Structure formats: structure tokens, C-alpha cells
Chain A
Amino acid sequence: MADTVQLFITCLLDTLYPPIGEAVVEVLQRLGVKLEFPTGQTCCGQPAFNAGLRQQARPVAQHTIQVFEKTRGPVVIPSGSCVGMIRHGYLELFAEDPLWYERACALAERTFEFSEFLVDYLGVTDLDARWPGKLTYHSSCHLLRELGIDRQPRQLLQAVQGAEFVELPYAGDCCGFGGVFSAEHPALSSAMLARKLENIRLSGAPTVVVCDAGCLTNIQGGLRRNGMTQQVVHIAQVLSDRKSVARTA
């Protein structure tokens, strides 16, 4: 693999889940990817953008564009909604600014979600990963509906040895996170989360796989608060050789 690949870890994974970052790196390097981690990367700007605060979101987006403009090769992001932000949100954010719009398009075109990158770009579905027991998959909204990414993570999970893949009932229903929505409408968000937790229980799987840090935080936070023992893991953790699933804070 001659191409250099840039990793955008995203603010939530960076701050809350360094072990997931390690798993992402391990998987990509194992596939021979020449991985780089551009310094100075922070956040894609989605929180302010989703809140409607576009003036505040623009400098963050510009910063991200600038950080990755200095690099070359595909940009891999292990969190779906941040990919959606760059591919669609940035174009909306800079719709009336032709220069930045062009620069945003250039970044959008080289941006890949992690599972999409593995399956569609590298053409890999079997990573020789092993996982004992049942796995289920939560189709995050932005991955499934905004980006149309669902087949890729499922293919990767189907190939995991030792794992029994079970379907999550209503897998594509929103978990209730929605970024600022969960802060502004906690009761509503929690009611949606309760349905997701019940469906996880019904699936019978002890492990729920996601490709988005927001859903992971929301669902795992709900499971813990409700005393449920199921665990939410990022797909990189399943595919990685380093199965350090438990959070190390």
C-alpha cells in the first residue's frame, strides 16, 4: 500500500476513548497502510454546526481543512457523523464562500469512514479477526442514511471468526443521541434511548458494535445507568488484535 493515509481521530474518540484510536491504528497498520496522524487536529466543528451556530462552526471547519490540506492521501475517520459533517455539512457551511467551498470539497473527496475505507478502498473484508460469542450491530443514523454505509461494517463483522452475528431489532432506529439534541431534550432523547436498550436486550447479544463515537457514548452510558451488562464496542476493537475492550480511563 503505497498511499499515505491520514487519521482524523475526532474529538470524542481522542478525549474519551484512546484505546479505540489504538485499535484503529493497529488494524490499518496490519493491512500495510502507511498511516500518519496530522498534529494540530481537533474537532470537525459538528457540535456548533448542529446547534445552528454556523459562525462559531466555520473557524473550526477551516482549521480542520487547513490541517489536512498539508497532508496527502485519503483521510480516514473512525466515526460516522464526523464523516457526514465533512462530506455534507462543510458544503452547507461554505455554500456562499466559493474559495472555502472548493477547499471543503477537496477534503470531502478524500474522506472515508473507517469501515468504508477498509471494504471499499482497500477491498478487505476478512481481517482474520476473532471474537467469541454473539455480536450485534447498531446502524448509526448518519452512517446508514446520510452516508449510505451499512453493508461495509456488516461484511467486516460477518467475517469475524468465532462470532455469531445476530440482527439487532430495529437496528437503524436512532439511539436518541443527536448531539446537542441529547442536551436540549434529555427526556425525549432518553425515551428514544430506552427503546434502543430494550432492543439490545431482545437481540440477546452481549456486545453491540458501532462505528460512531456519539452512539457509543449514548448507548453505553444508558446501559451502565440501567445496570445492563451489555457492552458497546467500536468496530476497530472487534477487528483489532488488541482486544482491550474495557475502557481504560
Chain B
Amino acid sequence: MPTEFHRRIHTALADSQLQAALDGNAERRLQALTQAFASIPEGRAALRQRAHAMRADVIANLESYLAEFIAHATENGLLVHRAADAAEALSIVSQIAHESGARLIAKSKTMVGEEIRLNEHLEAQGLKVVETDLGEYIVQLRGEPPAHIITPAVHLTRSQVGRTFEEKLGLPFTTDIPTLTAAARRVLRQTFLEADIGVSGVNAGVAESGTLCLVTNEGNGRMCTTLPDIHIALMGLERLVPTFDDLALLLALLPRSATGQKLSVYTSLINAPRRPGESDGPSQRHLIVIDNGRLALRRSALAEALYCIRCGACLNVCPVFREIGGHAYISPQGQMTPYPGPIGSVISPGLFGVASFGNLARASSLCGACTEACPVEIDLPKLLLRIRAADADPATLGLPPAAEPSTHSHVPSALRLGLSLFSWAAARPRLFALAQRIAGLFSRLVPAPAGWMRLPAFTGWGLARDFPRPAARPFSASLLAASLASKSGAETHAATRPGSRQTSHAAPDPQASLDPTPPLTLTPPERIERFAAELTALGGQAVRCQTQDLAGCILHTLKAQEIASLYAWEAAYLPQGLLEALKAAGIQVTHQPDPQAKVGLTGALAGIAETGTLVISSVPGRPLTASLLPETHLAILRSQDILDRLGQALALPQVRQAAASVLISGPSRTADIEMTLTIGVHGPKTLLVFILEA
């Protein structure tokens, strides 16, 4: 009997716009993934093995890592809450909102927020919640759930987005993606400035320091965690890495697997709320650590699903996802899950019950493309098979209590009967041989041109395929087979496959460098060259100049854009005499967060050559918003501060101590509409780095 799930599949297959959008996604993501990993000569395989081992360790020792993480986060001044389930998490958010008298909430993308249905809950209480990730904003305007865990509007074409903006925002219809993006920037900028609370997810929590790491491209994540006076971070309790070295490993894999980038544009590292003397950052940071079935999942045969780092790569390579998209992943009764695709087909039944979502695990050909793409090598076909087993016979596997009791199996009864009979016969060779002969005889009654029978569509197989007529005499009944019949008795066998019985995940080589990216050792001039080349490739600009020429260079840039004011760091943190020289040339300078400022001027703690990244940490007099609010960000980087690799930047004491830091890799960007790269969503559209020669 067709269920709501089957109905969605058929609707999706017949939707040509959806098919075009999904094809585009699959092709572009595959290409990006291939290119992204070409930049890691160490090889993806070795990195994946180490990441798998790292995540396995976290999940095996989750309680102790969690305790360590929470202790450090609390010391750092975060207000840490633990929520056992969705209801508890929602009531904690409500209480914070209620106590602060909040009305408007700006939300950055969070999958656990989708999981607990945060928007619905807050809206029911009369609060206004605005999604600020471009893709999430589009689906929120349309009243839809996200269709992908990292590309929420993956199912839409540009013209559908144009229509939505026309209907909901009253904009003239357009299919021009930069115009659509600019419209969203205008509307959402107001939200960021007015919001009382910013809600975000967390990509990883660092246990050794209590640091929250968030990766975003558009800049909305930075806005939500920097501008509103209260920040609430929602985090699934498994989302931990033990150390900063492990974070470097995770960051080498996550953006590459998710979007094909070496690093996302903004990697935020958050330790604490605003400190005395700082001019930006929220005065309260809450962290809600959410279980909602995860600890039960950890005790089950599906614990490996918790290794997931939510990159979405398995969705992008999945042939089933490519046919049906995210919205078709629902229970037979039509219950939604925020987690589609291969990993969603494991964690949806794992967290919300096999009885509800066991059907998803059956909609897979077990082709293994997901596991091949997974940056942490989760054996997804194995987990899908375990769900099928638990669904067919709940007693056989230690599945989470949430999954039981299963009163209804998703195994079609005809299939169960047929396979039970087949298997019963297959354990009885004479009966099996007889059944083969009967099949051979009876199929002679069906016409079979050239040996192929045309079965009717209701058989499933016959929908689009012919079936070969069983042989009148199976191979096993042939004279040839009889002539080969074994005569040997029970003897020990010698032949074994070389390399068999090896464990698939070898322990990481203790000699290997802890830094996941290759041991890049560049000479100082090479370092500058590499930094400039990487930054340029990201759409940023690098200008090399001498200290004495810096003011002139900056004035030249400002004059070219006819700009007479700056939002800048305080003079003490910029090269000596620079601000005086600019002021003397008639430029107005402010040090307070100014939403109207067109240009922000900052220094930088460090640069990272391998990714063209700027490292900036918040300190009084060095506001983070100067690198975020203005359309143009001018940064001054001393060439001696350029490091080779990401791991070195994460090891800087300032990064570990500041209330918040950000790694900036190029201007703000999005690819949320038709995977088309568009520069300048919420953050700066122009990033210009002046590299001061030593």
C-alpha cells in the first residue's frame, strides 16, 4: 500500500524543476569535493582514518569529554545548560527570552534547532524569529523546512527564489542571483541590528578549552553571535573534539567535504561573553547542550552515527537523495525529520524511533557512495542494515529505547513471506534444487523473447525492466557441475587472502605530525606569496607595501571609493601614526561599532599562508565588528605574522584566551541559490589586506 513516503518519492521523481536543481547540486558538489581534496597531498585516506579514530574516541569517552568541556566553558563565563530532550531545551530558550524581554530573535543555521523545532515553539509564544542564512531565509519565507543540512534551498531554482522574494518581500521579479542576494542583505541587516537574541548552532566544542567553533560563509553566524546582547548556542552533546589539534583536523575535513573550500570564510572561535572594555560581543552567552536521544543512541549498535560532523557530503553523493531531495525523507505517516540523506536515514530512526523512521533505511541501494564521501568514514551501509534488522526484529539488536517498542515493521509483508520461504528453502539444498527446476518449468509458460520475460509493473521489477527466464537446467544440475563435484573430506585449508582479517581502522601513526595538513615549511618570501595567492583565489586582494607607504595606500583606496570615514581599531593597535595621517587627510575615524560605516580598518593577529586566512581576536580597542559590519574590510597584516598552517594559528595563545576570535578567508560569500557563488552576503564584499614588509 503506498504510504505518504512513497507518494513523496513519486512527486519528487515527477518534478522536473526539482530534478534539475538536484542534478546541479550533485554535479557541482562532486566537482568541488574532488578539487578541494587535491590540495591535501597527505591524502584524504590518512586524514579520514585519523578523523574517524578521533571521533570514535570522543564518542567512546563522551561523558568525560563532556564534563571537561562544560567545566572549561563555565570557567570561561558561558552560561551552560543541559537539556535531556527537546522540551527541556525549548523551555530553557523560552526562559532566557522571557527574562530578557526579548521580541526579535536572529537565528543562524542550526540543525539541532530544526530538530527541536525551535522556530515553531518561539513563534507560538509571540516571538519573531528570523532565519539569517540565505538558504534558510528563503525556505522560511516559503514556509518550508530545509531540504539539505547545509544547503537548505537546494531544491529551488533561481526563478523560484525570485518568485518567493516577489511575493513575500514585494521586490520586482528577478532571476539575477546577486540582486536577490543584495535584497536579502538589506532586509536581514536590519534584523541583525535590532535583534535581542542571536541563536546559533555549534560545529564543534573543544573539550580542552571550552571553546565553541562555528563555521559559516555568509557572515550571518558572526552577526548572530556578535551583535545581539544575548547569544544562545545550541549544541548536540556529541559535537566535541578533545583538543585544538583535533579541531585543526576537523577543520581540514569539514569545509572541504561540505562546500569544497579549504576553510569556510568565517571560522569563529568563541570562548566568553564580552569582556570589560570591549565594544562589541554579547553580554551573555548561553550554551545549551542537548541530548534528545543521543546518549541512548551511543549505547546502541548505531553509536557510529554520532561520529557525524554534519558536512552533508553523503547527501551530495547519494543517488537516492539525488532523485528525491530532502523533503521526501519522511515517515510513512508523513512525520518530518530534519535529517535527510544517508546519515539522516540512520539518525532519524536512531533518535526518533525505528517505528517511525525505519522506512528511510530501506530506501537505499546500499551502494556505499556515502561512506566513500564521509570525512569520518562512517560505515553507513552497515548502519542502514542494522536499522533494517532492528525494524524487522526489534529484539535482535540493542537499539535505543526511543526506537522501541516497534509495533509495526516497515518490511512489506509479501517481501517478508517471500524471503522467509526462499531462505527456508536455501538452507535445504534438495528442496532448493527442486524449487529451481519448478521455476524453470513454470517460467516456460511465460513468453520470453531471447530468454527475457516481460513482467507486469505491479511486481515492482517489471516497472522498468525485463527479467531473465530461469534456466530449464540450473548450472548446479549440469553435467559440468557434476563432473566437478567435490570429493575432498573435511580437511584444513591453507589458502587465505593476503591482508585479510585486518581491522579497517588502523591506529594513527604516533610518529605522524599532529597537524593534519602537510608540513608546509615555507621561506618568508614564499609565505607571503602563498598567502597573497590564496587570498586572491578567494576573491580578496593583497597589497604589499612598506610601513611608510601604508597611509598613502589606504588613502588611495578610500579616495577611489569616495569614502571619507572609517570604523577602525584604536590607534595603539595599528601602525604608529597611521590614524593621524588619515585624519590629517580629512578622513573621519570612529572606534565604536557603526552600522553606517562603509569601510572597516583592522590589524590582524596573524595570517595563514596555506589558506589565505586572517586571524583576528577580540581585545578592547580591537572590535571584531570592524571586520564584519562594513562593506569593505581593510586589514593590515605584518608579513612576519604570516604562519604556514591552520594548526599553528589555532595554537596561538591569543586565540585560546580572547573572548572571541575569527579566522577570515576571503570576502563573505554564499552559494545557497543554485550553488552559484555570490560574493558579499552579510559580511564585507571587499577584503583588502595590506601586507607590511618587515
Contact = CB atoms under 8 A, between A and B. Distances in A.
Query: Do these two chains interact?
Result: yes
A173 B470 CA distance: 28
A53 to B, nearest CB: 5
- Chain B CB within 10 Å, residue with most, of A36, A54, A69: A54
A109 B472 contact: no
A15 B474 contact: yes
Contacts of A17: 468, 471, 475
Given A51-B419, A145-B372, A174 B468 contact: no
A183 B416 CA distance: 12
A25 B482 CA distance: 12
Nearest to B444: A249
A49 B492 CA distance: 28
B471 A249 contact: yes
B463 A186 contact: yes
Contacts of B500: 108-109
A120 B499 CA distance: 12
A54 B389 contact: yes
Given A9-B476, A187-B463, A221-B461, A192 B323 contact: yes
B415 A37 contact: no
A72 B490 CA distance: 8
B392 A190 contact: no
Contacts of B368: 141-142, 144-146
Given A25-B480, A183-B415, A52 B471 contact: no
Interface string A35-72: 11111111101011111111111011011000101111
Given A51-B392, A54-B389, A109-B497, A187 B465 contact: no
B452 A37 contact: no
A184 B362 contact: yes
Interface in A178-193: 178-193
Interface in A49-107: 49-57, 59-60, 62-63, 67, 69-74, 88-89, 92, 105-106
B447 to A, nearest CB: 12
Interface residues on A, range: 35 or more
Contacts of B363: 181, 184-185, 188
A206 interface: no
Nearest to A12: B468
B491 A72 contact: yes
B466 A221 contact: yes
Give the most central of A6, A174, A195: most B CB within 10 Å: A174
B473 interface: yes
Interface string A1-39: 001101101010111111001100100000000011111
B422 A47 contact: yes
B478 A178 contact: no
B590 to A, nearest CB: 56
Contacts of B393: 52-55
Contacts of B338: none
Given A42-B426, A73-B495, A110-B495, A188 B468 contact: no
Contact of A56 (B419, B452, B466, B495): B419
A22 B22 CA distance: 44
A234 to B, nearest CB: 12
- Among the interface residues B386, B440, B461, which one has the most CB atoms of the partner chain A within 10 A? B461
Choose among B429, B471, B474, B475 the residue with the greatest number of A CB atoms under 10 Å from its CB: B475
Contact of B464 (A41, A43, A50, A225): A225
Contact of B419 (A141, A142, A180, A188): A180
A55 B369 CA distance: 28
Nearest to B358: A52
Nearest to B452: A224
A194 B322 CA distance: 13
Nearest to B391: A52
Contacts of B472: 249
Contacts of B171: none
Nearest to A62: B427
A57 B423 CA distance: 6
B490 to A, nearest CB: 5
Q: Which of B364, B388, B389, B411 has the most CB of A within 10 A?
A: B389
A225 B467 CA distance: 9
Contacts of B365: 141, 174, 176-179, 181-182, 189, 192
Contacts of B387: 52
Nearest to A182: B461
B64 to A, nearest CB: 27
B451 A249 contact: yes
Contacts of B521: none
B366 A178 contact: yes
B438 to A, nearest CB: 11
B414 to A, nearest CB: 9
B497 to A, nearest CB: 6
A225 B471 contact: no
A209 to B, nearest CB: 17
B454 to A, nearest CB: 7
B319 A146 contact: no
A136 interface: no
B420 A56 contact: yes
A61 B387 CA distance: 20
B324 interface: yes
B98 interface: no
B436 A14 contact: yes
A106 B464 CA distance: 40
A111 interface: yes
Nearest to B476: A14
B523 interface: no
Given A60-B426, A186-B464, 7 more contacts: A16-B468, A36-B487, A56-B420, A60-B423, A121-B495, A181-B363, A248-B451
Interface of B: 9-10, 13, 319-320, 323-324, 362-369, 371-372, 381-382, 385-393, 396, 411-412, 415-416, 419-420, 422-427, 429, 432, 436, 439-440, 448, 450-452, 454, 457, 459-461, 463-476, 478, 480-481, 484-498, 500-501
18 contacts: A21-B475, A37-B484, A53-B393, A55-B396, A59-B427, A71-B486, A72-B491, A108-B501, A110-B496, A110-B497, A145-B371, A186-B464, A187-B13, A188-B9, A189-B464, A224-B465, A225-B466, A247-B452
Q: Which 3 A-B pairs have the closest CB atoms?
A: A178-B365, A52-B388, A221-B465
